[in-house]
Amino acid sequence: RPVEGAEVRVELDRGGMLPELAIADDRAMKAQTLRTDAEGAFALDLPAGPYRVSAIHEGRSTAQRIAAGAARGPVLLVLPEKAASDVFAVVVKDEAGAPVAGASLELVAGVHRDGVRSYDGVTGEDGRYEVRGVALGAVCARAWTEDGRAGWAAQRAPWDSRPRAALEVTVTAAAGLQGRLVGVDAALLEDARLEAWALTVNVPYWSALGIPWTAEVADGRYRFDALPPGSYALTLDAPKGARLATEPHRWGGQPLDNSVEPLVVEVPPGGATRDLAATAGAVIEGLVTREGAPVEGALVRVTLAPRTSNYPDGFVLHGVNVWRLDSALETFADHPSSHWRVWTDADGRYRL
């Protein structure tokens, strides 16, 4: 049945790559909103390109990606019969599958056009923790108990409006990870710390939400005591200039110039020992000013940008994720191995 008065929103789908169309990168285009008529119809003239068209009416919503300029008929948006409840649940279980009540929980999630949100809470008697009233995208959650058990799990952002399954986190005995940082002068490791990232996706240059565990580096050694079994991307934060020795990212089996492959470790039950190669890194530093005056608290974003056949001269930074201007850019989430951010100090200076 036609729906009159539905709110229709049309916006650029920055993740859509349509090789059959000649598309200009029009960052100035703003999302446009209009209403359906008595026949449920709407019309809007658009330049050729990829778009996301969404509709909402009385709490019911749907969305569709389209290619304006390609041969196609009218856009048909079908609203569900009932409004979505927008309830996202995390369920914490033990190794036997029984719910764990009273587990502490940390959750980070991308919210379309609203950045990244963080939540903290405690599970109920049924082992559940719920986020209500917000349509979440990609989600990463970790849980821990008073007796030292811990675990984490992640979900990618959904592609459609179907109900999402609860995210299940299984808590087990902590495994731990330890080792040495080798191959670099000890002075470059002063005040350094190593981070082990649980991520929604472990591919550089893709949007990746994650939660880090941190271990201080002392006398060239590191130790994570409360790390649960799982797969982690490691990053090194060393103010004196050391970095982890990494390989270039490979695409189609070939290494990409000026790129980085995340250093990933698998931590089995019982823990692991792994020595990590480090080396001296480069330093980028500078000053941010406005009309000659230093700007405190300005965000500086840096990307190790590979040169590929898609972008032979590297990437143009638009203040968002740069890999194909990924469609999850609104989450403001970057892979920690390929993207860095820092804020200027009181004198407007930054150093990476």
CB atoms within 10 A of CB 264: 13
The C-alpha angle with vertex 21 and arms to 20 and 26, in degrees rounded to 5, equals: 150
- For residue 197, give the nearest of 338, 315, 295 by alpha carbon: 338
Question: Which SS3 state, helix, strand or coil, does residue 111 take?
Answer: strand
Please tell me the predicted confidence (pLDDT) of residue 30.
67
Interatomic CA distance for residues 119 and 107, integer angstroms: 5
Contact yes or no for 298/343 (Cβ under 8 A): yes
Q: For the chain, what is the largest distance between any 2 Cα atoms, rounded to a whole number of angstroms?
A: 73
Please tell me the predicted confidence (pLDDT) of residue 331.
42
Q: How far apart are the first and last CA of the chain?
A: 57
Q: What is the DSSP letter of 323?
A: G
The token duo for 238 is 């060393």
pTM: 0.73
Name residue, tokens 């000053």: 287
The C-alpha angle with vertex 147 and arms to 143 and 150, in degrees rounded to 5, equals: 25
Interatomic CA distance for residues 315 and 304, integer angstroms: 9
Name residue, tokens 């970057």: 334
Per-residue pLDDT of the chain (352 residues; tens, 9 = 90+): 889 998 888 877 655 544 444 444 454 556 788 999 999 999 888 777 778 788 888 767 787 877 776 656 788 888 877 766 678 899 999 999 999 999 999 999 987 656 688 899 999 999 999 988 777 888 999 999 999 999 999 998 776 556 678 999 999 998 999 999 999 999 999 999 999 999 998 888 777 889 999 999 999 999 999 899 999 999 999 989 899 999 999 888 888 888 899 999 999 999 999 999 999 998 899 999 999 999 999 988 887 877 665 544 444 444 444 444 444 444 457 788 888 888 999 999 999 8
Contact yes or no for 199/155 (Cβ under 8 A): no
Interatomic CA distance for residues 222 and 41, integer angstroms: 62
Question: Which SS3 state, helix, strand or coil, does residue 7 take?
Answer: strand
CB atoms within 10 A of CB 92: 31
